């Protein structure tokens, strides 16, 4: 058992993926921790977007990492903050040279690590941020990837699979996040056999890697989808991978966003 599976086995009053002023979150760690307490959370993990090797306004700097860790410690000692707090990180996998597995991240005194893919190398090997708005994605698709959607989607999953092979993290973040923007270009995407085969590959790699797989609930109310999409949840349950339900909160009033709905849907699936 790991820290994460200990928590998820004991309670559903947790959120292990969240952001604050240290990256692109919209509140301080203290505000998020207090809000988590008001929601009745028992465990709350801070997971800033990691320092990264490319320009990105959403990621924290290496210089701020010690400040972040100190702030988790300071808040943990505060008697009026309810949840148990964790210093984690959402680490970007960029290439086999930069991801959760590299020494820099392995040496940081973190409670756990989340591995996520947001950047997908284009045909020239240049990493491009495929997260963010659909409008921006469509522009990048045209300008950076010559409009080749299948290339981007396959490359995204190749990144996820390589990250799982390299390891060095405890929880796989939002593993089909590319679908959020890709389905705005091709709404049929998730019906294709080749696409489903990629999902199957991720699930089997996650089993081999021994990681917890996140169900990310952040966008269920605004974009009507979980990550991974609930159509893939039966595969997770059949494979027996440990699951954590996280809101990926960037705002104090979004800490519970979609979590109850995800737990209810999971329960229904399990009882089938
Ligand atoms: Zn993310
Ligand atoms: Zn996140």
Q: pLDDT of 27-36, one tens digit each?
A: 999 999 999 9
Residue 69 pLDDT > 90: yes
pLDDT single digits (tens) 3-13? 999 999 999 99
Within-domain flag for 39: yes
Distance 112 CA to ligand 2 centre (A): 14
Ligand 1 centroid, distance to 17 Cα (angstroms): 9
- What pLDDT is attached to residue 56? 87
Ligand 2 centroid, distance to 64 Cα (angstroms): 17
Please report which confidence band the pLDDT of residue 125 belongs to, taking 50, 70 and 90 as the band edges: very high
Q: What is the CATH number of the domain that holds 49?
A: 3.20.20.140
Cα(272) to ligand 2 centroid in Å equals: 31
The CA 173 to ligand 1 mean position distance, Å, reads: 6
Predicted confidence (pLDDT) at residue 1 exceeds the cutoff of 80: no
Q: How far is the CA of 268 from the centre of ligand 1 (A)?
A: 27
The number of domains in the chain is 1
Q: How far is the CA of 19 from the centre of ligand 1 (A)?
A: 10
The answer, yes or no, to whether residue 182 has pLDDT greater than 90, is yes
Q: For the whole model, what pTM was predicted? A: 0.97
Q: Counting ligands in written order, which one lies closest to the CA of residue 172?
A: 1
Q: Is residue 272 part of a domain?
A: no
Place of tokens 């699930």: 203
> Which candidate, 70, 86, 84, 90, places its Cα nearest to that of 23?
90
| pLDDT reading at 24 higher than 90 | no
Average pLDDT over residues 55-83: 95
Ligand 1 being an ion, which residues bring their Cβ within 5 A of it?
116
Model confidence pLDDT, tens digit, residues 220-246:
999 999 999 999 999 999 999 999 999
Counting ligands in written order, which one lies closest to the CA of residue 247?
2
Distance between CA atoms of 48 and 257, rounded to whole angstroms?
18
Q: Mean per-residue pLDDT for 40-69?
A: 95
* Whole-number pLDDT of residue 55: 87
The closest ligand to the CA of 177 turns out to be 1
Which ligand is closest in space to the CA of residue 249? Answer: 2
Which domain covers residue 36, as residue numbers? 3-8+15-267
User: How much is the mean pLDDT over the chain?
Assistant: 97
Is residue 224 assigned to a domain?
A: yes
């Amino acid at each position: 058992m790991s820290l994460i599976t200990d928590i998820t086995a004991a309670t559903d009053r947790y959120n292990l993926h969240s952001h604050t002023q240290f990256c692109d979150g919209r509140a301080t760690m203290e505000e998020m921790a207090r809000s988590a307490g008001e929601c009745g959370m028992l465990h709350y993990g801070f997971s800033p977007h990691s320092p990264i090797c490319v320009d990105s306004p959403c990621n924290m700097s290496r210089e701020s990492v010690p400040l972040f860790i100190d702030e988790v410690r300071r808040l943990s000692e505060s008697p009026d903050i309810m949840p148990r707090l964790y210093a984690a990180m959402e680490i970007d996998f960029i290439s086999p040279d930069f991801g959760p597995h590299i020494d820099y991240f392995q040496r940081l005194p973190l409670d756990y690590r989340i591995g996520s893919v947001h950047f997908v190398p284009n045909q020239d090997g240049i990493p491009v941020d495929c997260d963010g708005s659909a409008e921006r994605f469509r522009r990048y698709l045209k300008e950076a990837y010559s409009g080749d959607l299948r290339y981007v989607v396959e490359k995204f999953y190749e990144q996820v699979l390589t990250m799982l092979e390299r390891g060095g993290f405890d929880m796989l973040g939002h593993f089909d996040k590319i679908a959020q923007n890709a389905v705005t270009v091709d709404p049929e995407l998730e019906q294709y056999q080749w696409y489903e085969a990629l999902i199957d590959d991720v699930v089997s790699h996650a089993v081999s890697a021994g990681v917890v797989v996140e169900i990310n609930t952040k966008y269920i109310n605004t974009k009507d989808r979980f990550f991974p999409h609930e159509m893939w949840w039966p595969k997770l349950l059949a494979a027996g991978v440990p699951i954590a339900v996280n809101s990926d909160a960037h705002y104090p009033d979004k800490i519970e966003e979609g979590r109850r709905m995800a737990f209810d849907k999971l329960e229904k699936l399990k009882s089938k």
